[in-house]
Each structure stands twice: as structure tokens, then as C-alpha cells.
């Protein structure tokens, strides 16, 4: 019997792994990243997290969101700005 690979749970995904994930659509990536951002903002308003950790996590989220937004609608880099990567 073959060993099953360890599957990541929703809480195991970092902003970077979401942005690089091959089977999520661009919109799914943005939705997931925005959901994480909303949860972080909610935790911050309740005062349940350390400010330094929040700043690091928010920076990571913003970088991942920017990376996903640069992806083309079809998942290819460069198409979002009207040029192909090899043009």
C-alpha cells in the first residue's frame, strides 16, 4: 500500500503558497488572500495578535496579492498589462 502524501489544510497555506498554487484560478487566489487579510484585520482590531507579526503578515499578503494581480486572466504572466512575456 502506497503512502498517501500529506495534504495541506486551509490553515497550512501561506500567502506565498496560495500565490504560487497551480490548481487555483486567479480569482480563487485573490479570494483566499483577501479572506486571510480580512481575518488578520479582524484579529488586529480585537488586539489578539502581536503588532510586529501583523506587519510582517500584511506585507507578505500584499506581495502575494500583487503577484497574483500581475498574472493574466488566463494564468499567464504579462497578459494583464496587454503584452505577452516574449514580446
Q: Which of 22, 28, 15, 24 is nearest to 66 (CA)?
A: 15
**Contact between residue 13 and residue 32 where contact means Cβ atoms under 8 Å apart:** yes
Q: Which one is predicted more confidently, 81 or 33?
A: 33
Query: How far is residue 53's CA from residue 50's CA, in Å, rounded to a whole number?
Result: 5
Q: What DSSP string runs through the chain?
A: -PPPPPPPPGGG--HHHHHH-SSS-HHHHHHHHHHHHHHHHHHHHHT-S-HHHHHHHHHHHHHHHHHHHHB-TTS-BTGGGT--TT-
Of the pLDDT bands very low, low, confident and very high (cuts 50, 70, 90), residue 79 is: very low
**pLDDT tens digits for range 30-75:** 999 999 999 998 888 888 778 888 899 999 999 999 999 998 655 4
pTM of the model: 0.67
Q: Look-up: residue for cell 497574483?
A: 68
Amino acid at each position: 500500500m502506497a503512502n498517501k502524501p500529506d495534504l495541506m489544510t486551509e490553515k497550512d497555506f501561506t500567502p506565498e503558497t496560495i500565490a504560487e498554487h497551480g490548481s487555483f484560478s486567479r480569482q480563487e487566489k485573490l479570494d483566499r488572500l483577501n479572506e486571510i487579510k480580512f481575518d488578520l484585520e479582524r484579529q488586529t482590531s480585537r488586539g489578539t495578535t502581536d503588532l510586529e507579526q501583523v506587519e510582517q503578515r500584511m506585507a507578505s499578503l500584499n506581495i502575494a496579492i500583487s503577484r497574483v494581480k500581475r498574472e493574466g486572466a488566463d494564468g499567464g504572466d504579462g497578459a494583464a498589462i496587454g503584452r505577452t512575456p516574449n514580446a
